Amino acid sequence: MSECVFCMIARGEIPAKVVYEDDQVLAFDDIAPQAPVHTLIIPKEHFDRMGPDVPAEVISALFTAVPKVAEAKGVAESGYRVIVNNGPDAMQTVGHLHVHVIGGKRMSHGMVHFE
Ligand code: AMP
Ligand code: ZN
């Protein structure tokens, strides 16, 4: 998966504004933020998307990082949306599993993207 952009970020080959990191996951700000706070959390190991091949420990590490990212970005109290765009119908554009943490503004109830 050497051409995977998020693998390249995980390896430090592409710059990213890192928000949080541990053994299993890396969190960095989205390059095209949809809200004042828009951070992505990725497993350092490559998985195309959410599926049965993703170990429970990886899922756990991703979601354990969510409140840490929210705290670091100052939205723990105001709230935030946690989104995984998984596969074509969800408009997943980067084929490396990632969790969006989006906040810093009041969102609607709509299902379309982040609005
Ligand atoms: P998705 O549509 O869920 O696959 O989201 C992919 C996200 O990755 C989009 O919000 C992009 O703006 C973001 N993205 C793509 N390339 C980069 C990059 N090099 N650094 C940070 N975010 C990126
Ligand atoms: Zn990858």
Is residue 1 pLDDT above 70, yes or no? Answer: no
8-43 per-position pLDDT tens digit: 999 999 999 999 999 999 999 999 999 999 999 999
Give me ligand 2 centre to Cα 34, in Å. 22
User: What pLDDT band is residue 83 in, cutting at 50, 70 and 90?
Assistant: very high
Q: Is pLDDT larger for residue 115 or for residue 81? A: 81
Residues with CB under 6 A from ligand 1: 5, 14, 16, 30-32, 40, 85, 91-94
Is the pLDDT confidence value at 80 over 60? yes
Tell me the C-alpha distance between 3 and 13, whole Å: 11
Residue 84 in this model has a pLDDT that exceeds 70: yes
Give the residue numbers marked as catalytic: 98
Average pLDDT over residues 60-66: 98
- Atom from ligand 1 closest to the CA of residue 30: 22
Q: In percent, how much of the chain has pLDDT > 70?
A: 94
| E runs forming strands in 11-110 | 18-21, 25-29, 37-43, 80-83, 99-103
- Atom of ligand 1 lying closest to residue 95 CA: 4
Task: Record the pTM.
Answer: 0.95
Taking the centre of ligand 2 as the mean of its atom positions, its distance from the CA of residue 5, in whole angstroms, is 6
pLDDT at 110: 73
Residue 99 Cα to ligand 1 middle (Å): 10
> What is the structure's pLDDT at 113?
58
